[in-house]
Structure 1
Amino acid sequence: MSGVDRAGGFDFLDGGWNVRNRRLADFLDPASGWEEFDGHTSGRLHWSGRAHVDEIVFPSKGFSGLTLRLYEPETGEWTLNWSNSRTGRLEPPVRGRWSEDGTGEFHGVDTYAGKDVRVRFRWSGISAGTARWEQAFAVDGGEWVTNWVMEFSRA
C-alpha cells in the first residue's frame, strides 16, 4: 500500500465532534435504503500523536463505539481497531496509511451476515472543522459497496 509516513495522521480528530451518519440498512445491498441519524464523538491523542482513542455515541440507536488507532513506525501504517457496546468484541483491524493529498485509506477482512468481506475505510475532506469517513465492503472480489458515511463537524 503506497502512501506517506504520517505519524500524526489522526491529530485532526482530537476533541469533540458532531457526526451525521448515513448508513445502508443492509451493508451489502445498495437497494436496501439509507437511514440517517446523529452521533457525537470525543477523542484523545496519546504517544505524541501515534495513538488515538475515541468514543462515538449514537443516542437514537442505543449503542456506542470505541476506536483505537495505532501508528506502527516500522511499517509507516496505522491499524484501526473497532468495538461497540452491543458486542464488547474487538473487530478485526483495518490497516493502511495517508496519501500525499491527505486522504487516508485502510483495508482489512471481516465477515458480515455470514459472508467473508473485504473492508475499506476512507478518511477525506479533513479540515479544522470537518472530516468525512466512509466504510465500504466487497464480496468475492466484487465491486465496493459504500455502506456507511459519517460527516464530522467540530463540536
Structure 2
Amino acid sequence: MSATPAYRRGMADKDFDFLHGRWRLRTRKLRDVMDPTCTDWIEFDSVSEIVPAFGGAGNVELTSLATEPPQEALTVRLYDAGEDLWRVWYLSTRAPGYMGPADEGRFADGRGTFVCEEELGGRLGLVRHQWTRLDTGRPRWEQAFSFDGGESWETNYVTEHEPLGE
C-alpha cells in the first residue's frame, strides 16, 4: 500500500459529501447498452437516498428506479486511504445475487472517474463511471463502455441529480 499524499489526507474521504441526501434522478440510457449501433434512448425518473458511513469514508445509496419493470439498487462506496482511492460496488434487482467487480478511482480537477474491467455481453471490456458538476448542487453521473482498452468510450447512461426537499 502506498501512503496517501499529505495534501489528500483528511480530504479525500470527504469526496462524496456532495452526494449525501435525497435525490430525484432523471436518467437517459440507451435502450440496448450492449448494441454499438443503438441510438434509441429511453428516459425514466428514480428516487435515491445516500447516507454517509464510516465518518465520511463511505456511503450507502438506495435507489428505486421507475423502470419497466421497477427495480431497486444498492450502491456501496468506500474510501481506501492507504491506496488513496474509492471503490464502488453496485447491486440491483435486475441481477439478484450478483455483485460485480468494484469500480476504482478518485476525484481530480472537479471530476470523479471510476473504472473496472468486466464481462459485458460475453466480451471483456472496461466500464467507466464519471461524476461531474460536483459543486452545482445538481451532480451528473455517466456510464461509458470501452472495448479497446480505454482508447475510446461510448456513453450509454446519463443521470442528472436534483435535490429532494427534506
Matched, 1:38 2:81: no
Structure 2 residue ranges without an equivalent (≥5): none
Instruction: Tell me by how many angstroms 1:60 deviates.
Output: 3.2
The equivalent position to 1:47 in structure 2, one of 30, 45, 54, is 54
The equivalent position to 1:63 in structure 2, one of 59, 68, 71, is 71
Aligned residue in 1 for 2:30: 24
Distance 2:67 2:145 in 1: 24
Deviations 1:53-83 (A, max 9, x none): 0011112331111100000010110001000
Distance 1:124 1:26 in 2: 24
The share of aligned pairs that are identical, in percent, is: 33
SS of the aligned residue for 2:13 comes to coil
Matched, 1:148 2:154: no
| Regions of 4+ moved over 4 Å | none
Structure 1 residue ranges without an equivalent (≥5): none
Residues 1:60 and 1:25: Cα distance change in structure 2 (over 3 Å): closer
Q: Please tell me the residue identity of whatever aligns with 2:32.
A: D
Q: Please tell me the residue identity of whatever aligns with 1:38.
A: D
SS of the aligned residue for 2:139 comes to strand
Distance 2:105 2:85 in 1: 5
Q: Please tell me the residue identity of whatever aligns with 1:67.
A: T
Aligned residue in 2 for 1:131: 139
Distance 1:46 1:128 in 2: 23
Please tell me whether the aligned partners of residues 19 and 38 of structure 1 are also in contact (alpha carbons under 8 angstroms).
yes
Deviations 1:26-70 (A, max 9, x none): 224354111111111001001110011001111233111110000
Cα RMSD between the aligned structures? 1.7
Matched, 1:116 2:124: yes
Aligned residue in 1 for 2:15: 9
Per the normalisation by structure 1, the TM-score is: 0.91
Distance 1:60 1:109 in 2: 26
Distance 1:38 1:11 in 2: 23
SS of the aligned residue for 1:8 comes to helix
